[in-house]
Chains A and B, each alone.
Chain A
Amino acid sequence: MTNYLWRLRKEIWASKFMGLSSSLPVFLILLMLLGLFLKAKPLFVLKPLSQIIFSSHWLPLKGHFGLWPFIMGTLWVTLLALFIAAPISLFVAIFLSEYAPSGIREIARPMIDLLAGLPSVIYGVWGVLIIVPFVGRYLAPLFGTYSSGYSVLAGGLVLAVMILPTIIHVILEIFRAIPQAVREASLSLGATKWETIKHVLLRQAAPGILAALVLGLSRALGETMAVLMVVGNVVQVPRSLFDGAYPLPALIANNYGEMMSIPLYDSALMLAAAILLVLVIIFNLIARLILLRVEKGLR
């Protein structure tokens, strides 16, 4: 009988402990948001948030923390990466799910996983060795401008490769969820494979593909080291693809050393981190809601 009680007690304690630890993810998000905003608060007290975000005046020593150049840098690099990665990943995903023989599919899967698993610094090394000289020596002269190579374009190219696996992975899942019968119905009406894809599959998968792109965007937004190594880190609002830029994550990573010695600098950097976190949460919210609806619709 005591043995029975002991087992029951263990069950109750385990259940409580597990319930408690499972609340960690929820509280971690809230804690991060709260912590970062509290740390950034001294900055809002001095100036309204809109003024900090839309000002290009970046002189930390004089207390001017305009984040606009960094926000624009992030936007340029991220959108460029998405623009490059979106068509490529869509074609790769369609090929792997609809055309590729199983042999190729089996090789492709570990390769995509590996691409997703390579550390960001490795991409950075590759970017510095290959992409930056490529942009500086070949692409810039081709367009009749000069560039050191450390530019928005280099950042966008490296970042595009990094978000490929994320987007491909989600699109593959979406295509897998579309019932085989849908394809067969279209093929039996005499449509070619591509017509089936164009008129039937892409239409069904459209919201899911959107979600995949949003997830890719959110991944690109916070990518730090690889971008930092190739993008030039110049405080300016970029005007062309060959200009240097200074995205938000690079700002945080480059200046953590000085931030304790200059007043309010730490608040500005934590505000940058908070902005990233809020954007990532919003993008994830959108993408997950779309995916949930897609899942329900297909079932």
Chain B
Amino acid sequence: MKWRFLEEKIFRAVMIIATSLTALILILIIGTVVVKGFKALKLEMIFRLPQGGYYFGREGGILNSIIGSLQLAGGATILAFFFSLPIVFYLNYFSKSKSIWPTLIRFSLDVLWGVPSIVYGAFGFLLMTWFGWTASLLLGIITLALLEIPIMSRAMDEVLKLVPPDLLEASFSLGATKFETAWKVVIRQALPGILTAILIAFGRAIGDAASVLLTAGYTDNITTSLFQPVASLPLAIFFQLGTPYPEVQQRAYAAAIILTLIILLISYLSRRITRRYAKHLVF
């Protein structure tokens, strides 16, 4: 009789330990990056380009990779949005519900979600060799967009499923076509969810290194054309941490804190949006 209650207590304790451990690890990761990063972070890092001999510890900053990351992730997010929105509209309003096609599409999106970013990188690399391109901003954007499409579509799909059918029927009964309903009514209702989906996809893209490594190259300048290579924050961290010079490694920490702050900001914003826009909804 006693053992039953003891068992209950033991497992409860184990669970609390596991949960605290997980929380502790998260705090430890962010703590490590913040503590190391703040020591290394100087204004010069944010507002200057790498100067001559930068990778041996001379002066300069990582403005190139900050701008580059925004260009890559921004471009990819816009491109991914133009594909994701039609996909989810089709899945939710245009497809015939009895056919197997929508199930197949959703399944493909789930599989694509699980495809590692290095495989997207390899595929981007293939495109590059097929078309005879070189590593460039455009190729980086295309590769990241492919990576973002499943994330964005699946997130938006979940949101559109929550749009109340009454709202659709009200719109149809007024004579609106499916497209008009989707474009003018659904979008308004689902806006917070759609914005959150965009932000999540953007966050994934800006932090992704493996796919960009193979397709976008790296440069010490600010990229002004789609056909030039482009720098990115994750790669700046990776390359600088890999050098044997402590001064350069310090800059990797500084770049890491900038990237972490961007991710934290995105995660905060997506939470804010969900709360703030929720009050404009009909239902």
Contact = CB atoms under 8 A, between A and B. Distances in A.
Contact of A25 (B87, B241, B266): B87
Contacts of B36: 125, 129
Interface in B69-118: 83, 86-87, 89-91, 94-95, 104-105, 107-112, 114-118
Nearest to A95: B15
Interface residues of B, number: 83
Nearest to A269: B122
Interface stretch (B21-29, B55-63, B159-167, B184-192): B21-29
Interface residues of A, number: 83
Interface string B159-182: 000000000000000000111100
A31 B124 CA distance: 12
B50 interface: no
B209 interface: yes
B67 interface: no
A195 to B, nearest CB: 7
Secondary structure of the A side of the interface?
Answer: helix
B237 A121 contact: yes
A262 interface: no
Interface stretch (A46-54, A109-117, A139-147, A236-244): A109-117
A164 B22 contact: yes
B214 interface: yes
Given A91-B14, A249-B118, A7 B177 contact: yes
B238 A273 contact: no
Q: Which of A99, A100, A117, A125 has the most CB of B within 10 A?
A: A125
Interface in A243-275: 249, 252-253, 256, 266, 269-270, 273
Interface of B: 4-5, 7-8, 11-12, 14-16, 18-19, 21-23, 25-26, 28-29, 32-33, 36, 83, 86-87, 89-91, 94-95, 104-105, 107-112, 114-119, 121-123, 125-126, 129-130, 146, 149-150, 153, 177-180, 183, 200, 203-204, 206-210, 213-214, 234, 237-238, 241, 252-253, 256, 259-260, 263-264, 266-267, 271
